[in-house]
Amino acid sequence: MLAYGPISEPVLTCLAEVEPREVSWLWLGRMALGRLTLLVGRPGEGKSFVTCDMAARISTGTPWPDGSANPAGSVILISAEDDAGDTIRPRLDACGADVSKIHLLSAVRHTDELGQPREMMFTLADIPMLEAALRRVPDCRLIVIDPIGSFLGGGTDAHRDNEVRSYLAPVAQLAEKYGPAVLVVAHRRKGSGSNADELALGSRAFTGIARAVWHLSRDNENKARRLLLPGKDKLAPEGGGLAFAITGSPAAVEWEDAPVTMNADDGLALENGDADGEAKPGPKPEARNVAVEWLRELLANEPRPTAEVMAEANAAGYAWRTVRRAADVLEINIYKPAFDKGWAWRLPEDPPQVGQEVGQVAPKEKELGQLGQLRQNIEKTNDFHPHNFDVGQVETSWTPSAENGDAGGPV
């Protein structure tokens, strides 16, 4: 009799046999269903407040802060740092949550050979238990793991890529199989740099396996104001940031209506005091003043599509973040001239002069009204979503597409 050992062979998938499909979104353009998203921030910045706000919105079907639709469903919270009775439940109540749709996975119950039950803390080594939880909550749309470092197991080195991936890859597979989005909350390391994603505490595998990364920090000029800013995104063009405050008793998140026109790297540069060469405190940066005059002249005669503004800025040698700050100074209106057109920029009636103190301002009320009506029409037609993301035509760089004029969206 012949003895055969194990047989190995490659598994090849012909891409011609793969059916293309669009990304399914939990939060349009920001957080995908069936995928991992990473939320990074220092302790005390408000990460758990944000996750409670998200859970509450999902439980009741309340639209997202940017107005995009949010069908109701259930949430599984995996939390190590907040008490269920005196912290999590009061925060959910303050957000108006339907707590019957929110479930806390706090432990795993084992029964020994004598029939005696005992409970042990849940870790990501207990993947079968997480799958069992998903089967018991079939309408789950979001799993929150807060913070990820508490659930890797005591013997895991969170700075080793292979060990981190051995825990996160099975979670990603469960997300794809059952469909919920997974929000992984991570602390931010001490130190500074120019790339915000590299400041996530632990291995680069955290940012590598996540399809999108969001960063939470405080506004340098107003510590009560928190900023939720985009890092990398593998599934959609970079969207705008958001701002909020934590108010009330019990405290809850109160979102601002206007988007924040910078990404996580821009926010990090402001923290480091080197954005546009400006040290805080200090005079207004010359580069931005020059960009203000350039942008005023560019838009003086007529509105310009975002793609054209980006192309002209690139040709003139202006960094895009400098142009965006110049747009803040000029209070530029960013709008959609028609449903089949990309976003465009135009000057307000009376733009301020260079050197005039102008903080970050919201679009004019009439623009908010137009955007609000646009969003309603978009949701009715299911044609485009509020930020005009076309996930089938995502560009890999910031270079604009002259064909559709959508590069950059409503920055």
Residues 54/180, Cβ–Cβ less than 8 Å: no
Could you tell me the pLDDT band of residue 339, with boundaries at 50, 70 and 90?
Answer: low
The pLDDT value recorded for residue 342 is 73
144-155 pLDDT, tens per residue? Answer: 999 998 898 777
Q: Calculate ∠ Cα 348-349-352, nearest 5°.
A: 75
Domains and CATH numbers, the chain: 24-270 (3.40.50.300), 282-392 (no CATH)
Contact between 274 and 280 under an 8 Å Cβ cutoff? The reply is no
Average pLDDT of the residues in 347-362: 48
Residue with more model confidence, 9 or 277:
9
Q: Is the pLDDT of residue 279 over 70?
A: no
**Closest C-alpha to 70, from 112, 39, 100, 25:** 25
pLDDT score of 246 more than 60: yes
Per-residue pLDDT at 158: 81
Nearest Cα to Cα of residue 151 among 197, 89, 105: 105
Helix (H), strand (E) at residue 272 = helix 264-272
DSSP state of 203: -
The 3-state DSSP class for residue 84 equals helix
Give pTM, 2 decimals: 0.67
Cβ partners under 8 Å of residue 9, min gap 6: none
- Cα-only R_g, the chain: 23
- Under the banding of pLDDT at 50, 70 and 90, the label for residue 274 is low
pLDDT (mean) for 319-347: 80
Of 57-66, 193-202, 245-254, 341-350, the poorest mean pLDDT is in 341-350
User: Do the beta carbons of residue 35 and residue 211 sit within 8 Å?
Assistant: yes
Going 332 to 265 to 390 to 396, the CA torsion angle's sign is positive
Residue 403 bridge partners (DSSP): none
- Residue 296 clears pLDDT 90, i.e. is over it: no
Kindly report the average pLDDT of the chain as a whole number. 80
Residue 394 pLDDT greater than 60, yes or no: no
pLDDT at 353: 44
In the predicted model, what is the mean pLDDT of residues 364-391? 40
Question: Could you tell me if 154 and 90 are in contact, meaning their C-beta atoms sit under 8 angstroms apart?
Answer: no
Question: Which stretch of 126-135, 255-264, 283-292 has the lowest confidence by average pLDDT?
Answer: 283-292
Question: Regarding predicted confidence, which is higher, 113 or 124?
Answer: 124
Specify the amino acid at residue 283: P
Nearest Cα to Cα of residue 155 among 144, 146, 164: 164
Strand partners, 252: 247
Q: What's the mean pLDDT in 227-242?
A: 90
Does 271 score more than 60 pLDDT? yes
Residues β-bridged to residue 81: none
Looking at per-residue pLDDT, the higher value among 238 and 330 belongs to 330
Residue 328 pLDDT? 85
Q: How sure is the predictor about 291, in pLDDT bands with cuts at 50, 70 and 90?
A: confident
Average pLDDT over residues 209-222: 92
